Protein backbone atom coordinates (compact mmCIF):
# COMPACT_ATOMS: atom_id res chain seq x y z
CA UNK A 1 0.00 0.00 0.00
CA UNK A 2 1.13 3.55 -0.65
CA UNK A 3 2.69 5.52 2.20
CA UNK A 4 0.57 8.51 3.18
CA UNK A 5 2.45 11.32 4.88
CA UNK A 6 0.56 12.70 7.83
CA UNK A 7 1.76 16.27 7.46
CA UNK A 8 0.06 18.67 5.06
CA UNK A 9 1.93 20.01 2.04
CA UNK A 10 2.53 23.62 3.06
CA UNK A 11 3.63 26.80 1.38
CA UNK A 12 5.54 29.91 2.54
CA UNK A 13 2.53 32.17 2.95
CA UNK A 14 1.31 29.93 5.79
CA UNK A 15 4.17 30.98 8.07
CA UNK A 16 5.24 34.05 10.00
CA UNK A 17 8.50 34.82 11.78
CA UNK A 18 8.50 35.68 15.47
CA UNK A 19 10.80 38.64 16.26
CA UNK A 20 13.77 37.97 18.51
CA UNK A 21 16.14 40.25 20.38
CA UNK A 22 17.77 42.93 18.22
CA UNK A 23 21.08 43.96 19.78
CA UNK A 24 22.23 47.56 19.99
CA UNK A 25 24.30 48.39 16.94
CA UNK A 26 22.42 46.00 14.68
CA UNK A 27 20.89 47.58 11.60
CA UNK A 28 20.33 46.94 7.91
CA UNK A 29 23.85 48.18 7.18
CA UNK A 30 25.48 45.59 9.42
CA UNK A 31 23.79 42.61 7.77
CA UNK A 32 25.91 40.40 5.50
CA UNK A 33 23.97 38.53 2.80
CA UNK A 34 26.81 36.40 1.38
CA UNK A 35 25.90 32.78 0.88
CA UNK A 36 27.82 29.67 -0.22
CA UNK A 37 27.03 27.90 -3.50
CA UNK A 38 29.75 25.31 -3.26
CA UNK A 39 29.79 22.58 -0.62
CA UNK A 40 31.50 23.80 2.55
CA UNK A 41 33.91 21.31 4.06
CA UNK A 42 34.43 21.59 7.82
CA UNK A 43 36.47 24.64 8.87
CA UNK A 44 36.97 25.73 5.26
CA UNK A 45 35.49 28.50 3.18
CA UNK A 46 33.13 27.65 0.38
CA UNK A 47 34.87 27.38 -2.98
CA UNK A 48 32.26 29.67 -4.45
CA UNK A 49 29.82 32.09 -2.83
CA UNK A 50 27.32 34.68 -3.98
CA UNK A 51 27.21 38.09 -2.31
CA UNK A 52 23.42 38.14 -2.21
CA UNK A 53 21.28 35.01 -1.83
CA UNK A 54 19.59 35.27 -5.20
CA UNK A 55 20.06 33.43 -8.50
CA UNK A 56 18.03 33.61 -11.70
CA UNK A 57 16.21 30.65 -13.21
CA UNK A 58 17.53 28.50 -16.05
CA UNK A 59 14.87 29.81 -18.42
CA UNK A 60 14.74 31.24 -21.94
CA UNK A 61 12.64 34.21 -20.89
CA UNK A 62 14.89 34.97 -17.91
CA UNK A 63 18.60 34.25 -17.97
CA UNK A 64 20.24 35.76 -21.05
CA UNK A 65 23.51 37.69 -21.12
CA UNK A 66 22.09 41.11 -20.14
CA UNK A 67 20.24 39.77 -17.10
CA UNK A 68 23.31 37.76 -16.10
CA UNK A 69 25.46 40.89 -16.22
CA UNK A 70 22.92 42.97 -14.30
CA UNK A 71 22.49 40.34 -11.58
CA UNK A 72 26.22 39.64 -11.15
CA UNK A 73 26.76 43.36 -10.76
CA UNK A 74 24.39 43.27 -7.79
CA UNK A 75 26.19 40.26 -6.28
CA UNK A 76 23.95 37.42 -7.48
CA UNK A 77 24.33 34.78 -10.18
CA UNK A 78 22.40 33.79 -13.29
CA UNK A 79 22.22 30.35 -14.79
CA UNK A 80 22.15 30.89 -18.54
CA UNK A 81 19.50 28.56 -19.95
CA UNK A 82 20.49 25.35 -21.70
CA UNK A 83 17.37 24.96 -23.85
CA UNK A 84 19.36 26.35 -26.77
CA UNK A 85 22.21 25.06 -28.93
CA UNK A 86 25.56 24.72 -27.14
CA UNK A 87 27.10 27.43 -29.35
CA UNK A 88 24.60 30.10 -28.42
CA UNK A 89 24.73 29.29 -24.71
CA UNK A 90 28.53 29.47 -24.88
CA UNK A 91 28.26 32.82 -26.65
CA UNK A 92 26.07 34.20 -23.83
CA UNK A 93 28.51 32.99 -21.20
CA UNK A 94 31.36 34.58 -23.14
CA UNK A 95 29.50 37.87 -23.34
CA UNK A 96 29.15 37.98 -19.56
CA UNK A 97 32.78 37.06 -19.00
CA UNK A 98 33.86 39.72 -21.51
CA UNK A 99 31.84 42.39 -19.72
CA UNK A 100 34.61 42.90 -17.28
CA UNK A 101 34.57 45.99 -15.16
CA UNK A 102 38.31 46.39 -15.25
CA UNK A 103 40.43 45.51 -18.27
CA UNK A 104 38.26 45.67 -21.36
CA UNK A 105 39.11 44.48 -24.86
CA UNK A 106 38.52 47.52 -27.03
CA UNK A 107 35.60 46.95 -29.40
CA UNK A 108 35.70 50.34 -31.22
CA UNK A 109 38.97 51.01 -33.00
CA UNK A 110 40.09 53.03 -36.02
CA UNK A 111 43.18 53.44 -38.19
CA UNK A 112 45.10 56.74 -38.44
CA UNK A 113 43.65 57.24 -41.94
CA UNK A 114 40.01 56.74 -40.89
CA UNK A 115 38.05 59.92 -41.58
CA UNK A 116 36.29 61.91 -38.87
CA UNK A 117 32.99 61.12 -40.61
CA UNK A 118 33.66 57.37 -40.30
CA UNK A 119 34.74 57.86 -36.68
CA UNK A 120 31.50 59.70 -35.85
CA UNK A 121 29.49 56.91 -37.44
CA UNK A 122 31.38 54.34 -35.30
CA UNK A 123 30.88 56.38 -32.12
CA UNK A 124 27.13 56.65 -32.80
CA UNK A 125 26.84 52.93 -33.48
CA UNK A 126 28.75 51.79 -30.38
CA UNK A 127 27.96 54.65 -28.02
CA UNK A 128 31.67 54.96 -27.22
CA UNK A 129 33.28 58.37 -26.94
CA UNK A 130 36.93 57.26 -26.63
CA UNK A 131 38.43 55.28 -29.50
CA UNK A 132 41.95 53.84 -29.78
CA UNK A 133 43.79 54.50 -33.04
CA UNK A 134 45.84 51.44 -34.01
CA UNK A 135 48.01 50.87 -37.09
CA UNK A 136 45.62 48.28 -38.53
CA UNK A 137 42.41 49.45 -36.86
CA UNK A 138 42.18 46.24 -34.77
CA UNK A 139 41.74 45.83 -31.00
CA UNK A 140 45.26 44.48 -30.66
CA UNK A 141 47.16 46.52 -33.25
CA UNK A 142 50.06 48.89 -32.43
CA UNK A 143 48.66 51.93 -30.68
CA UNK A 144 49.16 55.19 -32.61
CA UNK A 145 47.04 57.45 -30.46
CA UNK A 146 43.64 58.02 -28.83
CA UNK A 147 40.75 60.07 -30.12
CA UNK A 148 37.71 61.22 -28.14
CA UNK A 149 34.58 63.17 -29.05
CA UNK A 150 36.22 66.21 -27.42
CA UNK A 151 39.07 66.24 -29.96
CA UNK A 152 36.95 67.63 -32.81
CA UNK A 153 33.85 69.71 -33.46
CA UNK A 154 31.41 67.84 -35.62
CA UNK A 155 29.83 70.97 -37.16
CA UNK A 156 33.04 73.04 -37.49
CA UNK A 157 35.80 70.63 -38.52
CA UNK A 158 36.33 69.14 -41.97
CA UNK A 159 34.95 65.61 -41.52
CA UNK A 160 36.90 64.25 -44.48
CA UNK A 161 40.15 64.79 -42.56
CA UNK A 162 41.87 61.69 -41.05
CA UNK A 163 41.66 61.06 -37.31
CA UNK A 164 45.45 61.32 -37.01
CA UNK A 165 45.12 65.07 -37.57
CA UNK A 166 42.98 65.32 -34.39
CA UNK A 167 44.02 62.45 -32.12
CA UNK A 168 46.25 62.61 -29.06
CA UNK A 169 49.48 61.15 -30.49
CA UNK A 170 51.40 58.37 -28.73
CA UNK A 171 53.96 60.84 -27.41
CA UNK A 172 51.21 62.36 -25.21
CA UNK A 173 49.20 59.22 -24.37
CA UNK A 174 49.42 57.99 -20.77
CA UNK A 175 49.39 54.19 -20.83
CA UNK A 176 49.98 51.19 -18.58
CA UNK A 177 52.09 48.12 -19.33
CA UNK A 178 50.62 44.66 -19.68
CA UNK A 179 50.52 42.92 -16.30
CA UNK A 180 49.73 46.11 -14.38
CA UNK A 181 47.26 45.61 -11.52
CA UNK A 182 43.82 47.19 -11.69
CA UNK A 183 44.62 49.20 -8.58
CA UNK A 184 47.76 50.63 -10.21
CA UNK A 185 45.86 51.34 -13.45
CA UNK A 186 43.21 53.26 -11.52
CA UNK A 187 45.95 55.16 -9.70
CA UNK A 188 47.42 56.27 -13.05
CA UNK A 189 43.98 57.40 -14.24
CA UNK A 190 43.56 59.41 -11.06
CA UNK A 191 47.06 60.88 -11.11
CA UNK A 192 46.84 62.04 -14.74
CA UNK A 193 43.15 63.01 -14.60
CA UNK A 194 42.34 60.68 -17.51
CA UNK A 195 39.11 58.91 -18.47
CA UNK A 196 40.75 55.98 -20.25
CA UNK A 197 44.06 54.16 -19.85
CA UNK A 198 45.29 51.95 -22.73
CA UNK A 199 47.32 48.92 -21.68
CA UNK A 200 50.14 47.98 -24.04
CA UNK A 201 52.40 44.96 -24.39
CA UNK A 202 56.19 45.18 -24.84
CA UNK A 203 55.75 45.76 -28.62
CA UNK A 204 53.38 48.65 -28.10
CA UNK A 205 50.33 46.61 -29.07
CA UNK A 206 47.04 47.38 -27.40
CA UNK A 207 45.88 44.61 -25.02
CA UNK A 208 43.04 46.31 -23.16
CA UNK A 209 41.58 49.54 -21.86
CA UNK A 210 40.81 50.62 -18.29
CA UNK A 211 38.09 53.24 -17.78
CA UNK A 212 37.53 55.69 -14.95
CA UNK A 213 33.77 55.12 -15.27
CA UNK A 214 34.24 51.38 -14.54
CA UNK A 215 36.10 52.25 -11.36
CA UNK A 216 33.27 54.57 -10.31
CA UNK A 217 30.78 51.93 -11.31
CA UNK A 218 32.43 49.36 -9.11
CA UNK A 219 32.34 51.77 -6.18
CA UNK A 220 28.58 52.02 -6.72
CA UNK A 221 28.22 48.22 -6.85
CA UNK A 222 30.48 47.02 -4.07
CA UNK A 223 28.87 43.56 -3.99
CA UNK A 224 29.64 42.79 -7.64
CA UNK A 225 30.31 39.08 -8.09
CA UNK A 226 33.73 38.82 -9.71
CA UNK A 227 36.09 35.94 -10.44
CA UNK A 228 39.81 35.99 -9.71
CA UNK A 229 40.47 37.91 -12.94
CA UNK A 230 37.89 40.53 -11.98
CA UNK A 231 35.42 39.26 -14.58
CA UNK A 232 31.75 38.99 -13.71
CA UNK A 233 30.64 35.51 -12.62
CA UNK A 234 28.02 33.56 -14.51
CA UNK A 235 26.46 30.13 -14.11
CA UNK A 236 25.23 27.79 -16.82
CA UNK A 237 22.39 25.32 -16.89
CA UNK A 238 23.05 21.82 -18.21
CA UNK A 239 20.85 18.82 -18.95
CA UNK A 240 21.22 15.07 -18.66
CA UNK A 241 21.31 14.52 -22.42
CA UNK A 242 24.27 16.40 -23.88
CA UNK A 243 26.48 17.24 -20.88
CA UNK A 244 29.43 15.41 -22.43
CA UNK A 245 29.57 18.09 -25.14
CA UNK A 246 27.99 21.04 -23.32
CA UNK A 247 30.06 21.03 -20.11
CA UNK A 248 33.51 21.11 -21.79
CA UNK A 249 32.38 23.96 -24.06
CA UNK A 250 30.99 25.94 -21.10
CA UNK A 251 34.12 25.35 -19.01
CA UNK A 252 36.18 26.63 -21.94
CA UNK A 253 33.93 29.72 -22.11
CA UNK A 254 34.54 30.40 -18.41
CA UNK A 255 31.27 29.39 -16.71
CA UNK A 256 31.70 29.63 -12.93
CA UNK A 257 29.03 27.15 -11.81
CA UNK A 258 26.70 24.56 -13.32
CA UNK A 259 23.22 23.58 -12.48
CA UNK A 260 21.26 20.61 -13.78
CA UNK A 261 18.01 21.90 -15.16
CA UNK A 262 15.46 19.21 -14.49
CA UNK A 263 11.96 19.25 -13.10
CA UNK A 264 12.77 15.97 -11.31
CA UNK A 265 16.44 15.43 -10.54
CA UNK A 266 15.98 12.34 -8.40
CA UNK A 267 17.11 10.12 -11.27
CA UNK A 268 19.93 7.86 -12.24
CA UNK A 269 20.38 10.01 -15.35
CA UNK A 270 21.37 13.00 -13.24
CA UNK A 271 23.52 10.83 -11.00
CA UNK A 272 25.43 9.63 -14.05
CA UNK A 273 25.84 13.22 -15.28
CA UNK A 274 27.31 14.37 -11.98
CA UNK A 275 29.65 11.35 -11.86
CA UNK A 276 30.84 12.02 -15.41
CA UNK A 277 31.70 15.65 -14.65
CA UNK A 278 33.53 14.66 -11.46
CA UNK A 279 35.48 11.97 -13.33
CA UNK A 280 36.50 14.41 -16.04
CA UNK A 281 37.17 17.52 -13.93
CA UNK A 282 37.50 16.36 -10.31
CA UNK A 283 36.17 18.57 -7.53
CA UNK A 284 36.81 21.76 -9.53
CA UNK A 285 33.42 22.57 -11.07
CA UNK A 286 30.60 23.79 -8.83
CA UNK A 287 27.65 21.53 -9.67
CA UNK A 288 24.07 22.09 -8.57
CA UNK A 289 21.67 19.15 -8.64
CA UNK A 290 17.94 18.76 -8.44
CA UNK A 291 15.20 19.43 -8.34
CA UNK A 292 14.25 17.31 -5.33
CA UNK A 293 11.47 17.70 -2.77
CA UNK A 294 12.42 15.14 -0.13
CA UNK A 295 15.19 13.99 2.22
CA UNK A 296 15.41 10.84 0.11
CA UNK A 297 16.27 12.92 -2.94
CA UNK A 298 18.92 14.78 -0.90
CA UNK A 299 20.60 11.55 0.14
CA UNK A 300 20.72 10.28 -3.39
CA UNK A 301 22.24 13.34 -5.06
CA UNK A 302 24.45 14.45 -2.17
CA UNK A 303 25.62 11.35 -0.36
CA UNK A 304 25.96 9.22 -3.43
CA UNK A 305 26.11 11.76 -6.23
CA UNK A 306 28.45 14.44 -4.89
CA UNK A 307 26.70 17.68 -5.88
CA UNK A 308 27.74 21.02 -4.39
CA UNK A 309 24.31 22.50 -3.92
CA UNK A 310 20.82 21.15 -4.26
CA UNK A 311 17.74 22.77 -5.72
CA UNK A 312 14.41 22.15 -4.07
CA UNK A 313 11.00 22.59 -5.67
CA UNK A 314 8.51 20.88 -7.90
CA UNK A 315 5.31 22.33 -9.21
CA UNK A 316 5.43 25.66 -7.37
CA UNK A 317 6.75 27.83 -10.21
CA UNK A 318 4.47 30.68 -11.26
CA UNK A 319 4.19 29.26 -14.79
CA UNK A 320 4.17 25.61 -13.71
CA UNK A 321 1.24 23.21 -14.04
CA UNK A 322 3.13 19.99 -13.29
CA UNK A 323 1.07 19.24 -10.19
CA UNK A 324 -2.18 19.58 -12.12
CA UNK A 325 -0.92 17.70 -15.13
CA UNK A 326 0.81 14.80 -13.45
CA UNK A 327 -0.07 14.76 -9.75
CA UNK A 328 3.55 15.04 -8.57
CA UNK A 329 5.18 17.76 -6.50
CA UNK A 330 5.06 19.13 -3.00
CA UNK A 331 4.18 22.38 -1.23
CA UNK A 332 7.38 24.43 -1.39
CA UNK A 333 7.69 25.07 2.37
CA UNK A 334 7.20 21.39 3.24
CA UNK A 335 9.69 20.32 0.59
CA UNK A 336 12.26 22.84 1.77
CA UNK A 337 11.86 21.99 5.46
CA UNK A 338 12.22 18.27 4.78
CA UNK A 339 15.41 18.71 2.73
CA UNK A 340 16.91 21.28 5.12
CA UNK A 341 16.34 19.00 8.10
CA UNK A 342 18.20 16.24 6.29
CA UNK A 343 20.94 18.64 5.21
CA UNK A 344 21.49 19.73 8.82
CA UNK A 345 21.63 16.11 10.03
CA UNK A 346 24.09 15.30 7.23
CA UNK A 347 26.24 18.22 8.35
CA UNK A 348 26.23 16.89 11.93
CA UNK A 349 27.21 13.46 10.67
CA UNK A 350 29.90 14.41 8.17
CA UNK A 351 30.92 18.04 8.69
CA UNK A 352 29.97 18.77 5.07
CA UNK A 353 27.54 21.64 4.59
CA UNK A 354 25.43 21.47 1.42
CA UNK A 355 23.86 24.76 0.35
CA UNK A 356 20.18 24.48 -0.51
CA UNK A 357 18.41 26.57 -3.15
CA UNK A 358 14.66 27.13 -2.92
CA UNK A 359 13.53 27.19 -6.54
CA UNK A 360 10.29 28.66 -7.83
CA UNK A 361 6.95 29.85 -6.52
CA UNK A 362 8.20 32.91 -4.67
CA UNK A 363 5.34 35.29 -5.22
CA UNK A 364 6.58 38.27 -3.19
CA UNK A 365 9.45 39.56 -1.05
CA UNK A 366 7.96 38.11 2.12
CA UNK A 367 8.16 34.60 0.73
CA UNK A 368 11.83 35.09 -0.14
CA UNK A 369 12.44 36.09 3.47
CA UNK A 370 10.55 33.07 4.82
CA UNK A 371 12.37 30.66 2.47
CA UNK A 372 15.76 31.93 3.68
CA UNK A 373 14.67 31.79 7.32
CA UNK A 374 13.60 28.16 6.82
CA UNK A 375 17.10 27.18 5.79
CA UNK A 376 17.47 27.93 2.09
CA UNK A 377 20.92 29.38 1.44
CA UNK A 378 19.69 31.17 -1.65
CA UNK A 379 16.61 31.34 -3.83
CA UNK A 380 16.15 30.85 -7.57
CA UNK A 381 13.53 32.98 -9.29
CA UNK A 382 12.08 33.19 -12.76
CA UNK A 383 9.06 35.50 -12.72
CA UNK A 384 10.85 38.04 -10.53
CA UNK A 385 13.59 38.53 -13.13
CA UNK A 386 11.37 38.08 -16.20
CA UNK A 387 9.70 41.33 -15.07
CA UNK A 388 12.90 43.37 -15.26
CA UNK A 389 14.30 45.58 -18.00
CA UNK A 390 17.23 43.24 -18.51
CA UNK A 391 15.32 39.99 -19.14
CA UNK A 392 15.81 38.85 -22.74
CA UNK A 393 12.24 39.39 -23.96
CA UNK A 394 10.81 42.48 -25.71
CA UNK A 395 8.63 44.98 -23.84
CA UNK A 396 5.02 44.88 -24.97
CA UNK A 397 2.30 47.43 -24.32
CA UNK A 398 -1.11 46.00 -23.40
CA UNK A 399 -3.89 48.48 -22.60
CA UNK A 400 -1.35 51.16 -21.85
CA UNK A 401 0.65 49.00 -19.40
CA UNK A 402 4.08 47.63 -20.22
CA UNK A 403 4.52 43.86 -19.99
CA UNK A 404 7.11 41.26 -20.84
CA UNK A 405 6.45 37.73 -22.09
CA UNK A 406 7.29 34.96 -19.62
CA UNK A 407 6.94 31.29 -20.46
CA UNK A 408 7.76 28.04 -18.71
CA UNK A 409 10.42 25.67 -19.93
CA UNK A 410 7.70 23.04 -20.07
CA UNK A 411 5.77 24.83 -22.83
CA UNK A 412 5.70 23.95 -26.50
CA UNK A 413 7.25 27.37 -27.02
CA UNK A 414 10.39 26.52 -25.02
CA UNK A 415 10.71 23.03 -26.51
CA UNK A 416 12.86 22.07 -23.53
CA UNK A 417 12.02 18.37 -23.78
CA UNK A 418 15.35 17.53 -22.07
CA UNK A 419 14.12 19.07 -18.80
CA UNK A 420 11.13 16.75 -18.66
CA UNK A 421 12.17 13.57 -20.42
CA UNK A 422 15.23 12.35 -18.62
CA UNK A 423 14.68 8.77 -19.58
CA UNK A 424 12.85 8.96 -22.85
CA UNK A 425 14.57 8.84 -26.18
CA UNK A 426 11.60 10.69 -27.71
CA UNK A 427 12.02 14.41 -28.34
CA UNK A 428 8.29 14.99 -28.46
CA UNK A 429 6.41 16.99 -25.84
CA UNK A 430 3.08 15.23 -25.66
CA UNK A 431 1.65 17.62 -23.09
CA UNK A 432 2.70 20.89 -21.52
CA UNK A 433 3.85 21.32 -17.92
CA UNK A 434 4.09 25.08 -18.18
CA UNK A 435 2.19 28.08 -19.46
CA UNK A 436 2.96 30.99 -21.74
CA UNK A 437 2.18 34.30 -20.04
CA UNK A 438 2.90 38.02 -19.62
CA UNK A 439 4.28 39.73 -16.54
CA UNK A 440 4.32 43.46 -15.80
CA UNK A 441 7.54 45.35 -16.44
CA UNK A 442 8.84 46.60 -13.10
CA UNK A 443 12.19 48.26 -13.85
CA UNK A 444 15.89 47.46 -13.77
CA UNK A 445 17.28 44.57 -11.73
CA UNK A 446 19.21 46.96 -9.48
CA UNK A 447 16.02 48.75 -8.40
CA UNK A 448 13.86 45.72 -7.67
CA UNK A 449 16.65 43.98 -5.81
CA UNK A 450 17.35 47.07 -3.73
CA UNK A 451 13.87 46.94 -2.22
CA UNK A 452 13.78 43.17 -1.79
CA UNK A 453 17.16 43.02 -0.10
CA UNK A 454 16.39 45.98 2.12
CA UNK A 455 13.30 44.15 3.38
CA UNK A 456 15.33 40.98 3.91
CA UNK A 457 17.98 42.83 5.89
CA UNK A 458 15.30 44.57 7.92
CA UNK A 459 13.64 41.26 8.86
CA UNK A 460 17.01 39.76 9.75
CA UNK A 461 17.52 42.66 12.14
CA UNK A 462 14.07 41.91 13.68
CA UNK A 463 15.33 38.39 14.33
CA UNK A 464 18.70 39.63 15.65
CA UNK A 465 20.71 38.04 12.80
CA UNK A 466 23.84 39.49 11.17
CA UNK A 467 24.27 36.69 8.64
CA UNK A 468 22.03 34.25 6.81
CA UNK A 469 23.45 31.40 8.90
CA UNK A 470 22.36 33.23 12.07
CA UNK A 471 19.01 33.96 10.46
CA UNK A 472 18.35 30.23 10.00
CA UNK A 473 19.54 29.39 13.50
CA UNK A 474 17.53 32.10 15.24
CA UNK A 475 14.36 31.83 13.14
CA UNK A 476 11.22 30.80 15.00
CA UNK A 477 8.25 30.41 12.68
CA UNK A 478 4.59 29.98 13.41
CA UNK A 479 1.81 28.67 11.21
CA UNK A 480 -0.86 31.25 10.54
CA UNK A 481 -4.61 30.86 10.50
CA UNK A 482 -6.71 32.39 7.72
CA UNK A 483 -8.00 34.92 10.22
CA UNK A 484 -4.51 36.03 11.23
CA UNK A 485 -3.69 36.61 7.56
CA UNK A 486 -6.73 38.88 7.39
CA UNK A 487 -5.58 40.58 10.58
CA UNK A 488 -2.10 41.12 9.04
CA UNK A 489 -3.55 43.15 6.17
CA UNK A 490 -5.13 46.56 6.52
CA UNK A 491 -8.57 46.55 8.11
CA UNK A 492 -11.46 48.95 8.59
CA UNK A 493 -9.62 51.81 6.89
CA UNK A 494 -10.03 53.37 3.49
CA UNK A 495 -6.89 53.00 1.48
CA UNK A 496 -5.63 55.21 -1.33
CA UNK A 497 -4.73 53.04 -4.30
CA UNK A 498 -1.60 55.01 -5.14
CA UNK A 499 0.45 57.71 -3.47
CA UNK A 500 -0.63 60.06 -6.26
CA UNK A 501 -4.30 59.33 -5.52
CA UNK A 502 -3.57 60.12 -1.90
CA UNK A 503 -1.86 63.39 -2.75
CA UNK A 504 -4.71 64.38 -5.02
CA UNK A 505 -7.30 63.24 -2.51
CA UNK A 506 -8.81 60.46 -4.65
CA UNK A 507 -10.22 57.46 -2.87
CA UNK A 508 -8.97 54.11 -4.01
CA UNK A 509 -11.81 52.36 -2.20
CA UNK A 510 -11.82 50.24 0.92
CA UNK A 511 -9.81 47.04 1.16
P1 LIG B 1 8.97 31.28 -10.59
O2 LIG B 1 10.11 32.01 -9.96
O3 LIG B 1 8.53 31.89 -11.88
O4 LIG B 1 7.83 31.06 -9.67
O5 LIG B 1 9.50 29.82 -10.92
C6 LIG B 1 10.65 29.59 -11.68
C7 LIG B 1 11.00 28.12 -11.62
O8 LIG B 1 9.94 27.33 -12.20
C9 LIG B 1 12.22 27.72 -12.42
O10 LIG B 1 13.42 27.95 -11.76
C11 LIG B 1 11.99 26.24 -12.68
O12 LIG B 1 12.42 25.43 -11.61
C13 LIG B 1 10.47 26.13 -12.74
N14 LIG B 1 9.94 26.00 -14.10
C15 LIG B 1 10.41 26.51 -15.26
N16 LIG B 1 9.58 26.16 -16.28
C17 LIG B 1 8.58 25.44 -15.73
C18 LIG B 1 7.46 24.86 -16.45
O19 LIG B 1 7.27 25.13 -17.61
C20 LIG B 1 8.84 25.35 -14.37
N21 LIG B 1 6.67 24.08 -15.77
O22 LIG B 1 8.16 24.76 -13.51
> Which tens digit of pLDDT belongs to each residue from 373-390?
999 999 999 999 999 999
Q: Could you tell me the CA-to-CA distances from 430 to 327, 341, 415 in Å, in that order? A: 16, 36, 11
Least confident window among 319-328, 366-375, 421-430, 470-479:
421-430
Residue 102 pLDDT more than 80?
no
CA of 362 to the centre of ligand 1 (A): 10
What pLDDT was estimated at residue 500?
A: 58
What pLDDT was estimated at residue 504?
A: 55
488 falls in which pLDDT band (50, 70, 90)? Answer: confident
CA of 17 to the centre of ligand 1 (A): 26
Q: Whose CA is nearest to atom 10 of ligand 1?
A: 57
Contact 332, 291 (CB under 8 A): no
The finding on whether 320 has its CB within 6 A of some atom of ligand 1 is yes
Mean pLDDT, the chain, integer = 92
The distance in angstroms from the start CA to the end CA of the chain is 48
- CA 95-388-28 angle, to 5 degrees, is 100
pLDDT in tens, 317-341: 999 999 999 999 999 999 999 999 9
The finding on whether 374 has its CB within 6 A of some atom of ligand 1 is no
* pTM of the model as a whole: 0.82
What pLDDT was estimated at residue 493?
A: 76
263 falls in which pLDDT band (50, 70, 90)? Answer: very high
| Helix, strand, coil in percent for the chain, rounding step 5 | 35, 20, 45
What pLDDT was estimated at residue 216?
A: 75
101 falls in which pLDDT band (50, 70, 90)? Answer: low
* Residue 322 Cα: closest atom of ligand 1: 21
pLDDT in tens, 268-314: 999 999 999 999 999 999 999 999 999 999 999 998 888 999 999 99
What pLDDT was estimated at residue 125?
A: 80
What pLDDT was estimated at residue 100?
A: 61
Contact 231, 30 (CB under 8 A): no
Amino acid sequence: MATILTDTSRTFSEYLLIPRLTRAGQGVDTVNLASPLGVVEQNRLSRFSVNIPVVSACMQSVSGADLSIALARQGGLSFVFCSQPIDSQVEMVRQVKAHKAGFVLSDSNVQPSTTLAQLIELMRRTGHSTVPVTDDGSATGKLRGLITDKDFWEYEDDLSRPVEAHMTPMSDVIFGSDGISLREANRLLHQHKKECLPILDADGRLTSLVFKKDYEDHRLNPLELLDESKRLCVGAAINTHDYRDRVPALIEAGADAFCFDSSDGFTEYQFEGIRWIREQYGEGPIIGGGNVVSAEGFDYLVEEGGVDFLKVGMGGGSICITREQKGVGRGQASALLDVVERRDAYFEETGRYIPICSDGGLANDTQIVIALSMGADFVMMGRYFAMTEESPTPKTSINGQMYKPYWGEGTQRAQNWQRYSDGMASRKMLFEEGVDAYVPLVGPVSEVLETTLYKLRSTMVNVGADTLAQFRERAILTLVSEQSVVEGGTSTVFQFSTTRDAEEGRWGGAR
